[in-house]
Chains A and B, each alone.
Chain A
Amino acid sequence: MSALAVERLHKSFGKHEVLRGVDLEVGEHQVVALIGASGSGKSTLLRCINLLEPIDGGRIFLAGEDITRPRNVNAVRRRIGIVFQSFNLFPHMSVLRNVTLAPREALDISRREAEERALTLLERFGLADKRDAYPDRLSGGQQQRVAIVRALAMRPELMLFDEVTSALDPELVAEVLEVIRELATGGMTMILATHEMSFARDIADRVCFLDDGAILEQGTPAEIFTSPREPRTQQFLQRIVEARRL
């Protein structure tokens, strides 16, 4: 049984069809990288999987269970973590409260237990000394690591990363990628939309190339990056190489 299965997913914003029948399967402990040009539908796909966007057609299964139109949306979202490009930390809360809010409110666990859980995670990712800091006092890299910890504190069975390094200064990218790498090593099931091609090649079990709202080609990193079959994939990767991003 796969951790996540998406079948013929359709999504439109007004007249513009962003996703035109996406099929995607992610096995347990698998890391899947979504690549493709801006506007190809990577972010929308992730937001649909997390039920943040209502879909127009198709079905989504989480660990075999149909979550397309669930009775309790919140219960499903608790099982899927998502990290956004723009961090989206809660600016009026300290790091510790950012991380403990959802476990305390949505999972209804005690404050002490939530804080223990949060501190263990913060320590693991080198953020323990920032527990009382407010987001605007942190660097972009630190904020994004806190956002990852905040999602992990819910103990999700699946993590979604939506171009999490795109808003960061170049020198801060590595610390965030390090965190994701560690999660992959730890066996976390993940889907990451990314422009960091070398990282995707490094970390992903499978790479999917999204083009115009559909997965045009997928395979192992070696297959996609060294011998892509589709002309569109070749074109895309060519442009990436020219921009020295690979």
Chain B
Amino acid sequence: MRSGGDGRRGVAIALLSTVVFFTIVVVLITHAPGWHRVRSEFFNWHEFTSTFPEIARGFVLNIKIFSIAEAFILVFALLIAILRSLPGPVFFPLRALAIVYADLFRGIPTILVIAMLGFGAPGLGLSYLPTSVIFWGIVSLVLIYSAYVSEVYRAGIESIHPSQEAAARSLGLSRWQTLRHVILPQAVRRVIPPLLNDFIGLQKDTALVGTVGAVEAFQQSQIDTNATFNFTAYLAAAVLFVAVTIPLARFTDWLVARDRRLRQAGRLA
């Protein structure tokens, strides 16, 4: 058992070593020969404050893209995972389709899918579908991330012991009732941390929709840097992304830690 004095001493040492480390880093950077140029082009406070509001408005679009995409991914990926776990030869075509889909969309770089759909799909002239690049950007992200997330779901489904299914089926529940009430609730609970992890990636990748012309935070910062030849706008965009992803990352860590704690408590009980 650690005494309170030891704990305080630990904190003091951590604090001191952090201060020393960052002092050295700051001194090294600010004494570099090109520091004055970098400071005015990357860390320009005036540029930061003048571009930030517009980039923040662009970031609202990132949040919108993220939220809409996430809702569809959660459902669509689950569907794919369920298709892939269907047993028996009858369902082979569906299983094969799900496998091909997952392989394909995990293989193609995100930016390529967004470019192909963003530039290509509106050209199809399908009058019943929107031509907005934002729409096709969201479709691209849903297609790509569902491929990853379906694998996460599948790992969760396969981690549930077969005896659970046997117990449910022995009571006369159908395959679907068993999946819905017994398998999925346990599987989804188990994969929440990796799911959140994928969503941190999704949040960042919303910036790729900017490459086909949607004016989101990254595209806005690009417009600003092109106008002023000052790169501080990128920093403003980065700050916005980090402000959202870091809390989500910490939340994921907290969930994992809580899950571990609960499971240990359950074992001891």
Contact = CB atoms under 8 A, between A and B. Distances in A.
B173 A92 contact: no
A191 interface: no
Contacts of B182: 90
Interface string B134-178: 000000000000000000000000000001101111111110010
Interface residues of A, number: 28
Contacts of A109: none
Contacts of A137: 269
B166 A84 contact: yes
Given A74-B172, A75-B172, A105-B181, A90 B167 contact: yes
Interface in A35-68: 47, 50, 52
Interface string B183-204: 0011001000000000000000
Given A91-B186, A136-B269, A105 B163 contact: no
Interface size range of chain B in the complex: 10 to 19
A234 interface: no
A198 to B, nearest CB: 28
B172 A78 contact: yes
B266 interface: yes
A186 B174 CA distance: 30
B181 A101 contact: yes
A84 B169 CA distance: 13
Interface string A70-99: 000011011011101010111110000000
Contacts of A151: 170-171
B269 to A, nearest CB: 6
Given A92-B185, A101-B181, A106 B167 contact: no
Contact of B189 (A88, A92, A105): A92
B171 A77 contact: yes
Contacts of A154: 171-172
A77 B163 contact: no
A195 interface: no
Contacts of B170: 50, 52, 77, 80-82, 151
A20 B6 CA distance: 69
A145 to B, nearest CB: 15
Contacts of B181: 90, 101, 105
A11 interface: no
B207 to A, nearest CB: 37
Contacts of A147: 167
A47 B186 CA distance: 24
Contact of A106 (B171, B185, B269): B171
B173 A88 contact: no
Contacts of A86: 163
B167 A78 contact: no
Contacts of B177: 105-106
Interface of B: 163-164, 166-174, 177, 181-182, 185-186, 189, 266, 269
Given A101-B181, A136-B269, A154-B171, 12 more contacts: A74-B169, A74-B174, A75-B172, A86-B163, A88-B166, A101-B171, A102-B168, A106-B172, A106-B174, A107-B172, A136-B266, A151-B171
